Amino acid sequence: MSCCSSGALERQFGPGTAAADLRRYRWRGPRVTTRLLIRGIRPHLIRDATLLDIGGGIGAIHHELLDHGVARAWQVDPSAAYLVAAEEEARRRHHAGRVEFVHGDIGTASAMVPAADVVTLDRVVCCDPDYEVLLDRALAKTRRLFGLSFPRDRGVVRGAVTLANLYRRVRGLAFRGFVHPPDRMDALIRERGFERVFAARSPVWQVGVYARTPAAG
């Protein structure tokens, strides 16, 4: 199994992780990256916007945005356990008729999800060795707004990711985390016709929200 096949992702984000993440979300609310993404997205939402959350985990972004301006959402995720947890929470919040869940990665499942006004990649590019392909696939689905979060390119963050990867290697786990160059990701997104409308940081994470420029149609 190579990093990061769907099998590696299923194992990394299995039922134990999904249950713990859902408990944490119900107890403490969205994580810092999700909160920042929502802060950057909400002022730019159009009426009855649609949302595609790629790698949504337990679904925090759509749980929050379906209560604040988004009309319909799709979540695509290779982790079946995360999708079960996200669907359970969507039912609890009476969102079940407004969100659809698609099992797979955005490469293989691309045809099964529509383009959306808002597309998000919250802590997902760090799961993929090829950020360019992942960003291109996500941007191809984006009508208006694109939001992403990723680990900051700092020595201490790189060190922590390297240590975590070493631990996984010793344990025989195929999943690996990645710190990709923020400037190159930013340049790629701009080249595809977007401008940045929001940026924020925590000590570990960086968040950007981009709007499609009128010229890019």
Which residues make up the interface to ligand SAM (CB under 6 A)? 9, 13, 31, 33-34, 54-57, 60, 76-79, 82, 105-106, 122-124, 127-128, 134
Q: Least distance to ligand SAM from the beta carbon of 215, Å? A: 29
Q: Least distance to ligand SAM from the beta carbon of 9, Å? A: 4
Q: Least distance to ligand SAM from the beta carbon of 48, Å? A: 23
d(CA 114, CA 102): 11
* Cβ-Cβ contacts under 8 Å for 175 (sequence gap 6 or more): 3, 4, 8, 9, 11, 12, 127, 168
C-alpha neighbours within 13 Å on the C-beta side of residue 124: 27
* Cβ-Cβ contacts under 8 Å for 80 (sequence gap 6 or more): 10, 103
Q: Least distance to ligand SAM from the beta carbon of 217, Å? A: 26
The answer to whether 51 touches 116, Cβ cutoff 8 Å, is: yes
d(CA 144, CA 32): 23
Instruction: CB nearer to ligand SAM: give 60 or 99.
Output: 60
The answer to whether 83 touches 53, Cβ cutoff 8 Å, is: no
Instruction: CB nearer to ligand SAM: give 33 or 142.
Output: 33
Instruction: CB nearer to ligand SAM: give 33 or 50.
Output: 33
Q: Least distance to ligand SAM from the beta carbon of 65, Å? A: 13
Instruction: CB nearer to ligand SAM: give 49 or 151.
Output: 151
Q: Specify the 3-state DSSP secondary structure of 195.
A: strand
Instruction: CB nearer to ligand SAM: give 89 or 128.
Output: 128
